[in-house]
Homo-oligomer: A and B are copies of this chain.
């Protein structure tokens, strides 16, 4: 853990002490160095990804620090999952506003520690600096895949079936409830808010999809917006059937299950489920591969053309203002 120039050197030394026990990988040298070493196992290569989370954009200032830590880590692990990689470790660059005390930071480190256990990964290193602005957490995650086996966004082909894991729209609904509380049961509220706070990277599913899925990604900006990325880079069109979208009971309690609710679910962000395409003859393989990992649902298909669309029960395109970033 290096400390950048700052007026808070002693605090940063404390932070380094706080994070040192998290550096379990031998190549992390207990955070006593400027860098770490990583080597993929024989026949494997590293998959790397980075995502920064900013207070007020990706989480709320009064979110519990453990949840912020886990979310920052998990959105990165989710990228690894969708690529079929096995998670190995991460670097974290923290930009800290003046107000955060050691109690907050201790809880933040505890969140990271819990997730290291959960996902069998290590902290590799990091950097701490001051900022006059909002708390910013930039994480770089490292995973391993057998050489050449990373599942790409590019690779969807006409006639492929489109699947998604879990249920969608829950995190969006959870965020909406945090912003504007409603009169609903605690159980429903807790489920949805939890889905927003603690996304579950689908690492087992991703690994099971290696060599099976033609294309995959994790849903962060909204199902349709992200499927649009697959369509763009693969040079195909993706049609999603609204009535097939998997909606949780909690989601339906709050938002219903009509077309408007399904549009919301398909355009809300933060799902961190995996969407993927697979050749029809491999659909059974995908279902079998996913069995122990996560529920998956067939939601549409790939056709020639471009773009992505949501179809109603009659197979007509539902006209939408925009296909992502809609936070209800």
A131's partner among B130, B133, B233, B325 (CB-CB below 8 A) is B133
Cβ–Cβ contact B5 & A221, under 8 A: yes
Q: Which residues of A1-50 have CB atoms within 8 Å of chain B's CB atoms?
A: 2-7, 9, 27, 29, 32-40, 44-50
A257 at the interface (CB under 8 A from B): no
A194 at the interface (CB under 8 A from B): no
- Mask of A83-103 contacts with B, CB within 8 angstroms, 1/0: 101000001111101000000
- With both beta carbons as reference points, the residue of chain B lying nearest to A152 in the complex is identified as B33
Residues of B close to A34: CB separation below 8 A: 49, 79, 82-83, 153, 217-218
Residues of B close to A79: CB separation below 8 A: 2, 34-35
- With both beta carbons as reference points, the residue of chain B lying nearest to A216 in the complex is identified as B34
A47's partner among B35, B47, B145 (CB-CB below 8 A) is B35
- With both beta carbons as reference points, the residue of chain B lying nearest to A34 in the complex is identified as B79
- With both beta carbons as reference points, the residue of chain B lying nearest to A50 in the complex is identified as B91
A3 CA / B218 CA spacing, docked (Å): 13
- With both beta carbons as reference points, the residue of chain B lying nearest to A45 in the complex is identified as B39
| Distance between A166 CB and nearest chain B CB, rounded to angstroms | 18
Residues of B close to A51: CB separation below 8 A: 2, 4, 93, 127
User: Residues of A at under 8 Å CB distance from B?
Assistant: 2-7, 9, 27, 29, 32-40, 44-54, 56-58, 79-80, 82-83, 85, 91-95, 97, 124-127, 129-134, 136, 138, 140, 142, 145, 147, 150, 152-154, 217-218, 220-221, 233, 269-270, 324-325, 327
